[in-house]
A and B are shown apart, each in its own frame.
Chain A
Amino acid sequence: MRIRTISVALIFMVIAPLLHAACDLNHRDECKISELRLKTQQAAKLKEKTATDAAEKKVGNENRATTAPDPFASRLHNSYQDFVAPFSFAINKIEESKDGRAVIVRFNTLRHEGVKLGFTGTAAKPTLFAGIAEGIPEVQRDDVVGKLGGKLKDFDDVTLAASLAFEKKVCDPSTSFCFGRNPQTYRQALATQLKPLLEEAAILASDRSSEAGDLEFQTFLNNKGLSDQVVLGTITDKALHDEILRRIHEQVLLDSAASAKAIEFLNKAGITNLATLLDNQPQLAFTGSWRNVGDLGGPDELATTVEFQYGANNLNNAGSKLLDILKDDPVKQPSDKVVFTASYKRSMHYKFASLSGTGVSLASGTFTPVDVPRTSDWQAKAQWGRRLGVAMDKEQQPRFDLSAEFQRNGKGGIRTKNRVVATATVTVPLREDMSFPISLKYANKPEFLEGTRKDLSMHFGISYRFPWEPKPQ
């Protein structure tokens, strides 16, 4: 009996800390004093942010669909979890798509000499090729399609993809030319350059009044034989309990006031411009994928893309003058941006002559064979744009953008489309949310331009940005 009592007590001692639930402000007595203070401070911060974002969220939520995700991904993920476990050394992450129709396996990234190579495998919910359904006599279509749907296997729609990007694990833009927009690449170099700024922010974030207030608060707890690791609900003296709550709120106000000073200081130093500099870093990436669809799913597909992006106001160009560039007005910085993308997609020749191999037969009539020739699709797009140096308004400057698009399609080895469209646009800002774009378009064939019979056309109009849309950079 005594052994059993000791065992129960030991088990309780081990699991009691684990049972301590996450702190919730609606159940303050279950929180440690330190947790309550942290949560109160975070809630005050969130309240401030929510007030700012309220209008945007209202619009966003009204338009959000609430459909339950397909169970395919979750079933597949659970069924093969044990099988995948031995390969965990090579797998970085297994994800289910938001709609529940695909499982994505991301393999560990390989890095070598500034090149990053990544692989993914995706198993999507297979579907019957539309051409097969159309080949079934209409009176039996629903019934036979249902039976053929039951013949589809879990791995009948698998895509293997590889991506190659130029990106070093660690790079210092003040001493070398760096590719990529991953913040991890620049963390050390940025911290080195921003050190004086961040140290000053640290001094402001904890001022004398917040420190003195905290010392008084902690000494008060100490004098009462408590620490901030004590769970509030364990304090039975109601007056002391309420006094602690009052002091927490008082201290949170002091800490928040100091925080506001630090954030204001960083904002004035232009720290928010850092995200733009990072987003403008040159980026060069190649991707290739092979989609293997089962016999009933239609043609297999091969796809490749190359993408290059560059903005002149970037970390490389800031070099060792990062603090000066951040502080400077972004409008004065070079605004050139270049984007180039090219892609090639090929669908293989697909033949489905009869239903005989599927185990499903027609009660009457005949199946119309499916024969889809191979198709190819080349696309390329190049864009360049910059703000014009004409001073209309400090915040709003006219822009000049050039873009060119090329598309060539083929079916069964015969070219079906050969399209080139080039556009030059000048955008004159009228107000913060309104602009007047004038564009000149050229196409190699007039049918690619809307409402014109010449190969050159001109468009102008008014562009209006709704208040909840983000400002263009």
Chain B
Amino acid sequence: MIVLGGFFARNGDRIQLNVSDAGDLTTYLGVLKKFEDSGGGVVVSWLPAELQSDEGGHAILGDAHGYNVMIVPVVKDETKVTVRLRISGSVTVDDEQTITISDDDPFGWRIFIK
């Protein structure tokens, strides 16, 4: 996973993921994956239509060591993608980044629960 950044948040905080420009990606999936001692797994996944809407993909963080908010891309040719993560609640985060994608390596943020 290509890590765009890491943030600390709390149980009950709300996250929102948007893809403002998917460039020439063939397709992609937004995934919220939690991690904990027992392993963790996919909490929710979002399709492109949800991620490109104003509301984006959203979820409430629960009790875990942390979460990965990821985009799993399928790429044919190198392309630029603009993604935005917002966290609200105990912290306020608004991070928008444009990243060049050249292979199918997932990318996104890590959120650690305090």
User: Are A and B bound to each other?
Assistant: yes
Q: A residues touching B (Cβ–Cβ < 8 Å)?
A: 34, 37-38, 41-42, 45, 49, 183-184, 186-188, 190-192, 194-195, 198-199, 201-203, 205-206, 208, 210-211, 214-215, 217-219, 222, 227-229, 251, 255, 258-259, 262-263, 266, 271, 274-275, 278
Interface magnitude class on chain B? 35 or more
Identify which of residues 1-17 in chain B touch chain A, using a CB-to-CB cut-off of 8 Å.
1-8
* Least CB distance, B14 to chain A, in whole angstroms: 20
Please give me the residue from chain A that is nearest to B113 by CB atom. A215
Tally of contacts, chain A with chain B, CB under 8 A: 145
Whether A45 and B33, one on each chain, are in contact in the complex, defined by CB atoms closer than 8 angstroms, is no
Please give me the residue from chain B that is nearest to A222 by CB atom. B8
Bound-complex Cα distance A229 to B33 (A)? 23
Whether B26 and A183, one on each chain, are in contact in the complex, defined by CB atoms closer than 8 angstroms, is yes
Whether B65 and A211, one on each chain, are in contact in the complex, defined by CB atoms closer than 8 angstroms, is yes
* Least CB distance, B48 to chain A, in whole angstroms: 5
Bound-complex Cα distance A105 to B32 (A)? 42
* Least CB distance, A390 to chain B, in whole angstroms: 31
- Verify if B42 is at the interface (C-beta below 8 Å from A): yes
Whether A192 and B6, one on each chain, are in contact in the complex, defined by CB atoms closer than 8 angstroms, is no
Q: B residues touching A (Cβ–Cβ < 8 Å)?
A: 1-8, 22, 24-29, 31, 33, 35, 39-42, 45, 47-49, 65-66, 68, 70, 72, 74, 76, 99-100, 102-106, 110, 112
Bound-complex Cα distance A186 to B35 (A)? 32
User: A278 contacts which of B26, B47, B49, B102 (Cβ < 8 Å)?
Assistant: B26
User: A187 contacts which of B28, B42, B102, B103 (Cβ < 8 Å)?
Assistant: B28
Residues of the B chain whose Cβ atoms lie less than 8 Å from the Cβ of A262: 1, 72, 104-106
Whether A199 and B3, one on each chain, are in contact in the complex, defined by CB atoms closer than 8 angstroms, is no
Whether A188 and B49, one on each chain, are in contact in the complex, defined by CB atoms closer than 8 angstroms, is yes
Whether B2 and A255, one on each chain, are in contact in the complex, defined by CB atoms closer than 8 angstroms, is yes
* Least CB distance, B75 to chain A, in whole angstroms: 9
* Least CB distance, A258 to chain B, in whole angstroms: 6
Whether B74 and A194, one on each chain, are in contact in the complex, defined by CB atoms closer than 8 angstroms, is yes
Bound-complex Cα distance A275 to B24 (A)? 12
Whether B26 and A205, one on each chain, are in contact in the complex, defined by CB atoms closer than 8 angstroms, is no
Q: A194-B27, A262-B106 are in contact. Are A271 and B66 (CB under 8 A)?
A: no
Q: A192-B47, A208-B35, A218-B6 are in contact. Are A187 and B106 (CB under 8 A)?
A: no
Bound-complex Cα distance A186 to B74 (A)? 12
Q: A202-B72, A206-B1 are in contact. Are A215 and B26 (CB under 8 A)?
A: no
Whether B27 and A202, one on each chain, are in contact in the complex, defined by CB atoms closer than 8 angstroms, is no
Whether A218 and B110, one on each chain, are in contact in the complex, defined by CB atoms closer than 8 angstroms, is yes
Residues of the A chain whose Cβ atoms lie less than 8 Å from the Cβ of B66: 211, 215
Residues of the A chain whose Cβ atoms lie less than 8 Å from the Cβ of B76: 183, 274-275, 278
Residues of the B chain whose Cβ atoms lie less than 8 Å from the Cβ of A191: 27-29, 47-48
Besides the contacts A199-B72, A274-B26, what 8 more A-B pairs have beta carbons closer than 8 Å? A42-B100, A184-B22, A202-B68, A227-B7, A228-B5, A255-B1, A262-B1, A274-B74
Bound-complex Cα distance A203 to B112 (A)? 17
Whether A259 and B105, one on each chain, are in contact in the complex, defined by CB atoms closer than 8 angstroms, is yes
Please give me the residue from chain A that is nearest to B22 by CB atom. A187
